[in-house]
Amino acid sequence: MELSSRFECWRKLKGPENSWGLAWFLAAEFSRRFYSSHGLVPWVIAHDGLGYYGIEINRVRCGVHAETSEPLGRFTMFGDVENWRSGSPGDHGLELIDQCQRGVPTPELIRASVAHFEQVPIPTKSHLSCRHKRWGSSYVLSFEVAAYLALQYEVQDLTIWNHPAHLAQKLKAQDSKASMKEHPGGFLFVRQDREVLIAGDGRILDDSGEDLWVEYMRGRSISELAKSIDRRLDA
């Protein structure tokens, strides 16, 4: 609910053509529905040579999914939706930017974006024994904190990464659990020369020992958790 409120404020204050807020918000809604049960995860991409950016929908590497698989599609940098099984990269199958600007209600934007990926509501194979199923809530929380910050800042003021290709070396160096099976990945927040790295299960990977999930379960809100990341970037 708190992320939805932030999005409504974003809609009033910013145009979707000037920010990545729509893409992050829709990706968070997708993550909430499909990460734990289906093992589907939104990962930030940046292919500089192609000028190709956005948030891909990928399969988590787990006991059900193969080690490598093709992305299912993406949210473009500004929030359009591409289904790469029925279309192709660069084919904006669902243009939500215009709808957002025209004032289409947020529930309709969410419904259209989720439906465009054509996922079955119930996964065909059970992920009961997968890490993303057992501890998925903490990853979804971390994603929502990232989305909250994305709605607050322009991409040139704050960059956020969560693709394994971007984080593998940093996680290996800073996370004592980096070698664990089905590691939950992480999120890297970068502002100028400051970085904050958190594991996908909410652990802040510094010397503080703080954990977003633990703090959330103690009653802190998504906005408070986002502010804690913000303060670290300003320290």
Q: Does 10 score more than 50 pLDDT?
A: yes
If one compares 191 and 15, the residue with the highest pLDDT of the two is 191
Q: What confidence tens digit (pLDDT) does each residue in 44-86 have?
A: 998 665 456 899 999 998 888 877 678 899 999 889 999 988 8
Measured between alpha carbons, how far is 114 from 107 in angstroms, rounded to an integer? 11
Element (H, E) at 139: helix 136-152
Whole-number mean pLDDT of the chain? 90
Is 219 exposed, middle or buried, given 0-12, 13-18 or 19+ CB atoms closer than 10 A? Answer: exposed
174-192: average pLDDT: 92
Q: Which of 180, 175, 222, 165 is nearest to 197 (CA)?
A: 175
pTM (2 d.p.): 0.94
Maximum pairwise Cα distance, the chain: 48
pLDDT at site 78: 86
DSSP secondary structure string for all residues of 148-217: HHHHHS-TTT-EEE--HHHHHHHHHHH-TTTTSTT---EEEEEETTEEEEEETTSBB-SSS--BHHHHHH
Which tens digit of pLDDT belongs to each residue from 121-142? Answer: 999 899 999 999 989 999 999 9
Domain ranges of the chain: 2-234
